[in-house]
Structure 1
Amino acid sequence: MTEIAVLTPAADDGTYGSHWPQVMARLAAALSLSGLTARPMAWPDHAEDASALLEFPLVLPLLAWGYHQHHPRWLQATRTWAQTGIRIANPASVLAWNSDKTYLGRFEQQGVAIPPTVWTTDASDVELAAAFDRFGTDTVIVKPTVSGGAWKTLKVSRGQTLTGAPEGSAMIQPFLPDLAKAGELSLLFFGGRLSHAVLKTAAPGDFRIQSQFGGLYRTVEAPPPAALALADQVLGAIDEDLLYGRIDMVEHEGRWLLMEAELIEPDFYLSEAPDRGRLFAEAAARAAA
């Protein structure tokens, strides 16, 4: 068996500490299909000195939860990992730029369709009023550009005062009813190959599709060709080699729009994968060889 490292939250983390070991067990079970064992390593412990990670043929950042709450340290860590030369996948450069959702704007410049978005450093009531008019809508979504799991994400209606607005860089988008009704489609890729697709829908009365908010997931056997085309376009816009990627999208008014390209620590929904993660494990084994 070949031992690899999986980056996790800090040992004293109080937010994710009770949950990540369960996910670690599922990842370890999948990796074992290709003769890999996984050792958990807390990512903050290796932000300044990554020499301990050099002993591993592969480092996976798949449980580096909470990076968005410690973003400056995360960026320092990605620089350290790149400079140290550890074999990390996805690459440290990807882990840096993918941690700030302004990358969506760069994708848009390359022709990738995303929801209409206002990028701002001051998510104020004035900015909000202008966004309502610009989008021609009465409901918008406001969230930090550095976020995860709907952290500090707000749904605001016209006439409401913006309470709890994100500090610093933020994004404002029109609320898409299709996301709440039809759901968000996730396409999972390992080693450049499509593994499976999952449709995530929000609980009644909510707009967040994450499972911690009651979201429901189901396998999509045959993703629409247009959705596959969007995923291929997104992956083609990325210069670095990817071991894995989850492309999240929503269909709005007959057009598929990119919501996120999750390239750091996405849930792979391996319980929904027909092979229960073998394609992921094989890609990891090749990267560790």
Structure 2
Amino acid sequence: MTRIAVLTPDPADPSYSGQWPGVLERLTRALTQADVQAEPTPWTQHVEDASGLEAYPLILPVLVWGYHRAHPLWLRACETWRAADLPLANPASVLGWNSDKRYLARLAERGVPLPATRWVERATPEVVADAFARTGAEQLVVKPTVSGGAWKTLRLSPGQAMTDPPTGAAMIQPYLPSIQTEGETSLLFFGGRFSHAVNKRPVGGDFRIQVQFGGQYAPVQPDADALALADRVLAAIDEPLLYARVDMARDGDAWKLMEAELIEPDFYLGHDPAAGAGFARAVRERLDA
């Protein structure tokens, strides 16, 4: 059995301690189908020195949840891994740029449709008021460009005070009503091949679709337009990706990209009809290449 490394959260960060072990178990179970043994190790133990990872033929950073709260450390780790030429999948360079949502602006420049987005160095009340005036939106979503799991993400109405707002660079978008009615859809790709899709809906008037906020998930068959958008996103990224999760939502009649998750996305293997077989095959192919 081939031993590979799976990078996991900082042991000092308890935020996801109730969630990531279950995700690791699903990943491990899937990988055994490809004769692969996943060995977990915290990413924070390899920031300055990559030697503890050099023996592995493949390193998956798929459980580094919480890195956004230590972003400078994360970028330093990515540079250490890149300089050491570690067999990371996805590549260390991707792990760096994908950690800041300003990559979405670059994808938009390459023709990928996004919700109308304003990028600001700080989301002050004045900046938010101006965004309301310019867009005419009934509600806005404000979130840090470095974030995860809806961390410091706000949904605001005109004149509403911001509680615990982002303190640095932020993005501002009109809130898409379809999030409430249709939810967000995630398309999973392994080795460049479409695997499965999951629809995620908020509950109880919330706007956050994450499971920790009560989000409800269900497998779904994406339509041709959703698949076409995902293909367009991956073509615009044009990197050697082992895995990708493309999150999208409807803006009127058109699908718009919300995020391209290339670092530590939950693959929702519990909703995958093949139980992760596509992921395991992509890992095996990478190892055998």
TM-score by length of 1: 0.98
Distance, in Å, in 1 between the alignment partners of 2:101 and 2:66 is 15
Q: Secondary structure at the match of 1:37?
A: strand
Q: Which residue of 2 aligns with 1:168?
A: 168
1:191 aligns with 2:191: yes
Q: Which residue of 2 aligns with 1:98?
A: 98
Q: Deviations over 1:90-149 (max 9, x none)?
A: 000110000000011111111100011110012011101110011111211110000000
Letter in 2 for 1:26: R
Q: Secondary structure at the match of 1:147?
A: coil
Q: How does 1:1-289 map to 2 (within 5 A)?
A: 1-221=1-221, 223-289=222-288
Distance, in Å, in 1 between the alignment partners of 2:87 and 2:124 is 42
Q: Deviations over 1:229-260 (max 9, x none)?
A: 10000000112200000000001110100000
Aligned-pair distance for 1:179?
1.0
Aligned-pair distance for 1:85?
1.0
TM-score by length of 2: 0.98
Q: Secondary structure at the match of 1:282?
A: helix
Q: Deviations over 1:182-233 (max 9, x none)?
A: 1101100000000001111111311111111111111113x11111110000
Aligned-pair distance for 1:180?
1.5
Letter in 2 for 1:111: G
Aligned-pair distance for 1:273?
1.2
- Matched pairs, number: 288
Letter in 2 for 1:241: P
Distance, in Å, in 2 between the alignment partners of 1:182 and 1:94 is 30
Q: Secondary structure at the match of 1:123?
A: coil
Letter in 2 for 1:113: P
Q: Contact between 1:180 and 1:208, CA under 8 Å: does it hold in 2? A: no
Letter in 2 for 1:190: F
Aligned-pair distance for 1:59?
0.2
Q: Secondary structure at the match of 1:44?
A: helix
Q: Contact between 1:99 and 1:146, CA under 8 Å: does it hold in 2? A: yes
Which sections of structure 1, spanning at least 5 residues, go unmatched?
A: none
Aligned-pair distance for 1:13?
2.5
Percent identical among aligned pairs is 55
Letter in 1 for 2:259: E
Distance, in Å, in 2 between the alignment partners of 1:130 and 1:266 is 33
Q: Secondary structure at the match of 1:55?
A: coil
Q: Secondary structure at the match of 1:188?
A: strand
Which sections of structure 2, spanning at least 5 residues, go unmatched?
A: none
